[in-house]
A and B are shown apart, each in its own frame.
Chain A
Amino acid sequence: MKLKLKIWKQGDAHSRGSFVTYDLDGVAPEMSFIEMLTYLNETLIGKGEEPVTFEHDCHEGICGSCGMYINGYPHGPVKGLTTCLLSMRNFKDGETIVIEPWRAKPFPVIKDLMVDRNALDKIQQAGGFISVTTGAAPEANTIPVNKKNSDLAFDASVCIGCGACVAACKNASAMLFVSAKISQYALLPQGRPEGKERVRAMIAEMDRQGFGSCSNTGACEAQCPKQIKLFNIARLNREYYKAF
């Protein structure tokens, strides 16, 4: 496959960026998007040019580091996939692909396509945990858990914190991320004791980081590679009101 890649290049958060166009020949359809970019970098290094900076790690859709905005879609045009799992089969020979970094005030560009997603970690650190005394792990099955809730909690817990929800949202809101983190605890008995403090602290931190409000538009749900559902945000809202 032959591709025209229009990629955002930017030195750091404070410098001005611009698009650079690369013509890339010899892309195999079975490559993943990340493999394609690695191949691009190999050819650039071979020519003595500066490679494109982008983040990637696990290549199996669980670390959440590989996010980029591809042709108007966070993580590309296929639903339920991270960029690393996106196959080049989904693109046509000769196609122009525009690649941009996540755009949000709380996500400053580190370099090119790599952004600083520390803001999400800050929210998590504000309350996305349960306090347990250390020692021998207690027998998990002594606390009965409703099956439906445990399934819903599991579905919420698969959030990988990639930031695609923020990238997709017209308001750069992190509500889907926060709602997943809140839900995975709110639905289980272990999460209840600190429920009120958790939701208040996480929302306060979300505001401090400068994320927008939720317009219930659903772009986050449409783009989430882990298919976290919008009704988690309704649960987050309920939890927040109950916390006062």
Chain B
Amino acid sequence: MNKILFSAVSKKFVMALAGLFLLLFLPVHLGINLMLLRSDPEPFNTAAHFMATFPLVKVVEILLILAIMTHITYGLIIQVHNWLSRPVRYAVRNKSDTSAFSRFMIWTGGSVLIFLVIHFFNFYFIKLGIVEGDPENFYAIAYQLFAVRGYAILYWVCFLILGFHLYHALQSAFQTLGWSNEFWKPVIRVISLIYSIVIPMGFAIIPLIIRFFK
């Protein structure tokens, strides 16, 4: 059983599935965030309230946390094993023709994780009652945060990095799940490109509009 769950292929399979699940959630989150652009805080706060209280969403929330934990744990296990597979490194850096995005997944992933922790402290932990704040007015909290220049810059940088991560992640997940061949490979690349630009851009544009056009 262990061999099956932790074979080189299975580990990637679990990681890809968890990652894809997270990718499904991002557009939902973005949809809600876009309501921040309305001058009326009501729709955004109502949506946030709904996400915090509706029972079915609760189930999804638990699944999301599980997916995040699984993705990180498996990612780390795979990475450490991969590093150990080459104990003596080359003196000359490998110059093979590969995409840079795919080579730094552990680092882009780590950066996204740091942002996620900050994000949890700013919002999710307030909802859980761990951190002080008004869970019924996330709209005001978001505006306060975006007003801080340092935070806005951090936010943009993180979503740029997330874009890099997603561009390889999506293609890689398809390949890992076995959904790739000569014909589909370029199609999947285009889908990954579109997703990895549109979703992070969608998030990043919100503080941009709030700071400069409102």
Interface residues of A (CB under 8 A from B): 8, 19, 69, 71-74, 77, 79, 98, 100, 103-106, 168, 170-173, 175, 203-204, 206-207, 210-219, 222-223, 229-231, 233-238, 240-241, 244
A105 lies within 8 A of B8 (CB): no
Q: How far is the CA of A79 from the CA of B3 in the complex (A)?
A: 36
B82 lies within 8 A of A171 (CB): yes
B178 lies within 8 A of A217 (CB): no
Residues of chain A lying within 8 A (CB to CB) of residue B168: 216
Q: How far is the CA of A86 from the CA of B57 in the complex (A)?
A: 60
Residues of chain A lying within 8 A (CB to CB) of residue B89: 103
B9 lies within 8 A of A203 (CB): yes
B92 on the A face (CB < 8 A): yes
A72 lies within 8 A of B94 (CB): yes
Q: How far is the CA of A103 from the CA of B93 in the complex (A)?
A: 12
Within 8 A of A (CB), among B92-117: 92-99, 102-103, 105
Residues of chain A lying within 8 A (CB to CB) of residue B87: 105
Stretch at the interface among B23-31, B144-152, B179-187, B203-211: B179-187
B78 lies within 8 A of A213 (CB): yes
A211 lies within 8 A of B85 (CB): yes
B102 lies within 8 A of A168 (CB): no
Count of chain B residues near A, Cβ 8 A:
44
Whole-angstrom distance between the Cβ of A169 and the nearest chain B Cβ: 9
Q: How far is the CA of A51 from the CA of B130 in the complex (A)?
A: 69
Q: How far is the CA of A100 from the CA of B88 in the complex (A)?
A: 11
Nearest first, the 9 A-B pairs at minimum CB distance are A238-B178, A212-B85, A171-B82, A72-B95, A219-B96, A172-B85, A212-B82, A234-B180, A237-B178
Residues of chain B lying within 8 A (CB to CB) of residue A213: 8-9, 11-12, 78, 81-82
B53 on the A face (CB < 8 A): no
Whole-angstrom distance between the Cβ of A36 and the nearest chain B Cβ: 18
B12 lies within 8 A of A214 (CB): yes
Residues of chain B lying within 8 A (CB to CB) of residue A173: 8, 82, 85
A170 lies within 8 A of B12 (CB): no
| CB 8 Å contact bits of B169-198 with A (1 = contact, 0 = none) | 001101111111110010000000000000
Residue of B nearest to A209 (CB): B85
Whole-angstrom distance between the Cβ of A203 and the nearest chain B Cβ: 5
B73 on the A face (CB < 8 A): no
- 20 residue pairs of the A-B complex, CB under 8 angstroms, read A98-B91, A103-B89, A104-B86, A170-B82, A170-B103, A171-B85, A172-B86, A173-B8, A204-B7, A207-B7, A207-B8, A211-B85, A212-B81, A213-B78, A218-B98, A219-B97, A223-B96, A229-B182, A234-B181, A237-B175
A105 lies within 8 A of B86 (CB): yes
Extra A-B contacts (15), CB below 8 Å, given A168-B94, A213-B9: A73-B94, A103-B90, A105-B84, A207-B8, A212-B81, A216-B168, A217-B99, A219-B96, A231-B175, A236-B9, A237-B9, A237-B12, A237-B13, A237-B177, A241-B178
Q: How far is the CA of A215 from the CA of B78 in the complex (A)?
A: 9
A216 lies within 8 A of B175 (CB): yes
Q: How far is the CA of A236 from the CA of B85 in the complex (A)?
A: 21
